[in-house]
A and B are shown apart, each in its own frame.
Chain A
């Protein structure tokens, strides 16, 4: 898989420091599972955290904390957890972070038709945040209306491809866009495009067509 579009470096640091909410974390982790380059970069960003922890000013622990820890270790609740075996062969099918949310096969997803050539499947996430997470199925050759964003948006392609002002996006590619970007994706001919999308708030479509489809798409 050749991945051409990667995660923004600022997003990598947010991932490493733990600042992504559930919806965005899912999209980023799914991309990382598909992209060796970003996985390595994310690890580098974690090394920054390791160094800061290593060098920070320690705060004294309560006197009993070591005993408390050894009590727990000695008890039945603490068997060692073996690391997963090294297989060197990648899992087939969907990346693990996404598999937990939607099952093992894209074919099994319960799609809801929201506009001609467009189907959507909402994935439940933490209701305490304003972000939403969903999958889109878009028929070959379909042009999405031009839209800007009320907030950040991340789109990860799982199968098929689309093209917009920023280039061609195929499987594994991620569009990590902030609120200033307006784009008009068109799905390539041949096969439908299935993608995983996190948005910070509702997407705003431009133009009359956009205003017409907005209530149906609800994204």
Chain B
């Protein structure tokens, strides 16, 4: 029985991240078409991230270039069992943001990533759970109360320091921290459903 257009669309959405995982394994084989596809999806989003973080247009474009150079050169570092492609690209973008916008070294993050590669210590079933995990993270974000999601958004997407967030929202620093803790607790609770 043929699937309806809506069903196909639903399936594609569901498998959205799995597709990126497949693209990444082709990028590892130096497949430029796969790399282009990855760039077409994530490039404009990395640019959005840099603009929100305060980079002006030209710098944001330059950072996008650097991020995707790293994606290409370090494709071997991506492990599907470590999670979604989006998480890996986010961490590369975050590191570039630290190096270029905050102007200190993101090297400690790379040390930790390399440690993970050297001694992964992961259970085999986690590989199959990558897509499911991404869905749970999305659920957690949707279910967060606005006051928590807003803080997470300002921290991750707008590169605001905890103290700047407190000032912007006229909240005591302790309140910002406790909302961050609550948001993490929700995330953890959702991810535990995967196991």
List the interface of chain A (C-beta within 8 A of B): 8-10, 12-14, 16-19, 21-22, 25-26, 28-30, 32-33, 36, 39, 41-62, 65-66, 68-70, 72-73, 78-90, 95-97, 100, 125-126, 128, 178
Contacts and interface: CB of A to CB of B under 8 A. Distances in A.
B112 A66 contact: no
A100 B137 contact: no
B87 A87 contact: no
Interface string B39-59: 110111111110100000000
A29 B183 contact: no
6 contacts: A10-B177, A14-B155, A54-B45, A59-B60, A66-B36, A178-B174
A158 B17 CA distance: 40
Given A47-B134, A48-B156, A100-B107, A84 B43 contact: no
B2 interface: no
Given A19-B155, A21-B104, A53-B86, A9 B91 contact: no
Q: List 9 A-B pairs, minimum CB-CB distance, nearest first.
A: A50-B87, A58-B44, A29-B108, A50-B86, A54-B86, A96-B111, A10-B177, A97-B108, A49-B90
Nearest to A55: B138
Given A56-B45, A88-B119, A10 B162 contact: yes
B157 A56 contact: yes
Question: What secondary structure prevails in chain A residues at the interface with B?
Answer: helix
Contact of A53 (B17, B90, B174): B90
B73 A47 contact: no
Interface residues of B, number: 87
Contacts of A70: 32
Contact of A58 (B47, B90, B102, B191): B47
A89 B115 CA distance: 10
- Chain B's interface: helix, strand, loop or mixed, by majority? helix
Contacts of A17: 94, 155-156, 159
A103 to B, nearest CB: 15
B156 A52 contact: yes
Given A10-B177, A46-B87, A86-B118, A69 B68 contact: yes
A80 B44 CA distance: 24
Contacts of B119: 86-90
Given A33-B111, A49-B87, A18 B32 contact: no
B180 interface: yes
Contacts of B93: 53
Contacts of B94: 16-18, 46, 49
A54 B104 CA distance: 26
